[in-house]
A and B are shown apart, each in its own frame.
Chain A
């Protein structure tokens, strides 16, 4: 599957139409210049970050108007694709595609070529990642005791064996003890792990602070911590109240403060109002931009940059004049309203940097070995695009963004990490298994879902459980129209009707029949 294919962005309506009418010719507004071997698989992305559909294309030719074709847009059509069928696929992050030059694809705004790479498996430690000794111990235990030890325990045994240079006999005794203990420590079947997890995270909530604290190490920035942050995490907010990033850099520059600072300047979003005043003069219908040399120097901006950025403003054809250290901007024809609007758009015109990142500060990392950029505001996709950035270690606290850019498993790990850090920072000790369970519940569907009425609780299968949580009447009324049936499999609904719940001792369905006599 490592052949060149095409990827384009499309609207869901078009995909539905294609699906209904396939096989059909589809007119698109991009050209395909490469030779592609027929049949070729194309991918359609809806959001530009992941491939959502796969289409089988049997013919590619130049656009001509023939009856019965479907069109992507109405204008500028260039190519006709014969679409044989549209397949629903589990979303593939576009980072699994490579460009022709071998670099990874990140976003597709309209159309791109791409090579589907090998499927990457990096999430869980796999058996093949274990060392020779580890594998041996794992296999031995499995043979001798019929127990599959978790890899983390196998690793511990090997470490101990090395540290204390255990003899074979000794090692066997250790393994025997470990297996004995491990078996004793397993969870009991039917244990209500969900409730235990919820309680374990909720109970210490009363002991947390409500305040926003300074960030460890970077006094200049505020970061939400404590209870508000924990609530934010389980809410799966699309924007955290204080988004931040920790940007690590590649080896060759990370020890050089100056170079790192340059990267930071590249990242920090600088707008005209950050370095200059904008004066509106109604008298001569002009705007005057008065740059502040001090601020310009701090941000590493030159006056030419401002002029250049003005040319990017395409809404109006502006007349730009330099007057000493000032820039005068005029509209082609006088209009008060337009002048006012122009002033507003000029103020927020980006000179350089990445959208959303309002501040970037360079600090020594916690272990003091390198320089790291800490930012206020987050934009993972674009930061990862910067060459100097070490994408493996760079992180953001925006979980939804992680889900979009890196995929759902990354989001799950981010939830765990953020929650653990928040609790730890408050000096609270909560077992990671509880947090993992919450993270898995939030992500097992493939999208990040909030804990609450708009997320998991609102999608329960039981009518009664939903009605008991929130928005009672709505759930009952729609249940009637849909003719829903409540199978009473959960906890809340069984409590409502007054019977034992289906967890713990209530989950055991086996009935013992005594001797017939």
Chain B
């Protein structure tokens, strides 16, 4: 049972790596394994077999013979196998080769003169003092080894050296004669300790001869548990299978050796043993066939267990499975604050928060426990699933014992209470590409079965509601909850560190609604206004205006001003700003299209609120408010989204294909333009065929032709779009969306109303398919617009069969592109993270790594946090001047 240690934190200071010596293997071994069998007929582990109870237990009820612990208590113990003959450890083959090359075959000394040894030792020592890492030292060692290996005669004993070659993976030959592992081991033994540092071995932790195994450690059984299938059949782990093979061959080898069998047989068995030991370590060693399971599946042995994405390191150590988490489909809920998340009741009853019982909350805890694990009633009230006693024992609360447990609790116990409104949780959507992919939300328990949140929070998660699922984690310690509330809450992440602007903000309907509310300042009767305002909390509703007939009304801008923070002053251009209207001479508040926003003391005086004001990523107003503090910003976004819903649902907003209706004469015009361009391409082709086309410098004639045609046809599409957009005005819902930046672009509209345009694959006109033509509908060698993927029709009119086919070719490329891109950019990001993860800013705003090296002396050359910057600028003087001089400055600036 896990015990919680409060207030006491221990830290591992360091982990040291070394090689196991044969003595050490024997010393740490709990049992010497001699039989290859696992269980007897009764299913009981055989003594001195691979499942010996000395190595730990995997079946409940049994006790470990070494430590006496039960299944969850015993950590497992190593056993060992005495190998009849030594074998080489595959992982160290290269090392062994180096050591054999660099040392004398007779006396075992490194083949360098004493003075050279001194110099190299000094060099190593110097490098170490300079702070070289072991990896960097290894490069020096490599040089030393190369130098020593090149000596044909030992400078110490004068013995002549022979050339040693390595037959991959594990066979060494000396001038053609095979060296047995035994001989190799003998040679390595001769290398004196004081020569080892030159070879890159730390004599305190390793000896070269340990790389030739004489004893094999057998991992504890809980590393390789037996799986019992439903049929009662037992199935052994891959490692156990491999160990069985090793023991069998080992035994045969020993018997044959002891009975004096012919050398040939012994050598064969020895090699077989080497094969099994090799594959036991690494079953993907190149040069030998992988050991296979009976079914033909290659075995997963030690290296395979650690390596790669599914290996121990990446899938169990760098990332861990957790409890207190849940996952379900997401859906939108505009009436939640951006800080909140709607949690289904069923999930809230399963996820719990541990609460320590104190003398202050004991009565409250009793009440919660009394409700049991499944409280009834219309209103959601938290119950509890477990209590943990002071001694760490866990008691499950049932409806039956709830009353009894409630009475028993005392100070020092822990109650695992259901999730309830106001608890902080972490909410996450994969892929988690940046820190805003996991933010802290406050719980709101809601009916039904989906997680719900405010739409303004979609961009940071990159979420939509077409079936996306998200994860939720409940924090289990007080520190974690405090950190999450202060650092991870959504309102602390409105500004993105990527570009120092808001990433949470209005989108789609929010922008449309604000446009409708503010563009050309529409009037709302008092009733309408109050209806819309019922969606938000507001103070100080101004006196209504009165029209000629004395009816009370409000302007849209008055309503919007209600959600603005006081003392806000700013001016900027709206997205709908069109410099051609005023001939590039801004008229400010007199702008005919109401595109210059002026805010004074928290009142919107002029201008249209659209994407440039409140859009996520682009909103200038939002950016400004976000920098006034996270509470203000949260309030603004909450109000903004609610007000937007109020406006748009009161006014009503819809879009249909008839939005793209344009008059007959416009259609004819478009057709003319396209006909003209198609004709022009034909002329170009004619010119090309006659050989009169002048090639652009550095391009072939064919390339030139293609470029020209592409240009002409792109122009045609643009012209068609222009004609179409002339007939699409701001009274049109689709145009409102495109112009205000809510969704879609004018290009999309012109493709619907006018012409879709040229389709392309890899930036070229379509040209592949049949021999010399794209489709059998065309003549061979036809280079014309239509034969090479120009789609004349509009989406509204519909595509001809050939156009439809071309259009899908372009579409397919897009899909392939996305698939390739995600994997490539994912790997790049993994590498970037790996290279930069350890960097931090220190107290003096230097950037340092773990070794203490300085990467930057002042972070980003000015020490400014990009999140807090004004779109990358450390100080925005305009902002400063507005703050200092207010209106005076804003007016002065216009001059």
Contacts and interface: CB of A to CB of B under 8 A. Distances in A.
A90 interface: no
Nearest to B893: A164
B205 A483 contact: yes
A485 B14 contact: yes
A66 B147 CA distance: 27
Interface string B608-634: 000000000100000000000000000
B672 interface: no
B839 A431 contact: no
Contacts of B307: 472-473
Given A431-B872, A437-B856, 15 more contacts: A174-B880, A188-B841, A202-B828, A206-B822, A211-B817, A429-B871, A431-B866, A436-B861, A457-B831, A461-B851, A465-B838, A486-B15, A486-B16, A487-B14, A502-B850
Nearest to A157: B877
Interface of A: 20, 150, 152-153, 156-157, 159-160, 164, 170, 173-174, 177-178, 181-182, 184-206, 208-213, 219-221, 227, 230-231, 234, 359, 361, 429-434, 436-438, 440-441, 444, 451-453, 455-465, 467-469, 472-473, 476-492, 495-499, 502-505, 507
A451 B832 contact: yes
Interface stretch (B63-71, B326-334, B694-702, B780-788): B694-702
B847 interface: yes
Contacts, number: 348
Contact of A483 (B206, B487, B824): B206
B784 to A, nearest CB: 23
Contact of B313 (A205, A209, A468, A483): A468
A433 B821 contact: no
B497 interface: yes
A210 B821 contact: yes
A202 B829 contact: yes
B44 interface: no
Nearest to B91: A477
Given A20-B119, A156-B877, A481-B200, A472 B313 contact: yes
Contact of A193 (B19, B91, B859): B859
B12 A187 contact: no
A434 B17 contact: no
A361 B698 contact: yes
B228 interface: no
Interface residues of B, number: 109
A488 B859 contact: no
Nearest to A430: B498
B859 A182 contact: no
Interface in B822-870: 822, 824-826, 828-829, 831-843, 845, 847, 850-851, 853-856, 858-866, 868-869
B838 A488 contact: no
A483 B21 CA distance: 13
| Nearest 9 Cβ contacts at the A-B interface | A202-B829, A194-B839, A205-B825, A483-B205, A433-B860, A483-B202, A194-B836, A198-B832, A150-B862
Interface stretch (B130-138, B336-344, B574-582): B130-138
A186 B865 contact: yes
B867 to A, nearest CB: 8
A399 B835 CA distance: 19
Contacts of A502: 840, 850
Nearest to B497: A196
A488 to B, nearest CB: 6
Nearest to B858: A150
A244 B837 CA distance: 33
Contacts of B282: 473
A181 B836 contact: no
Nearest to A226: B821
A153 B874 contact: yes
Contacts of A488: 11-15
B1 interface: no
A191 B841 CA distance: 6
Contacts of B884: 170, 173-174, 177
B303 interface: yes
Contact of A227 (B17, B698, B821): B821
A173 to B, nearest CB: 5
B868 A184 contact: yes
A372 to B, nearest CB: 15
Contacts of B434: 199-200, 202-203
Contacts of B138: 478, 482
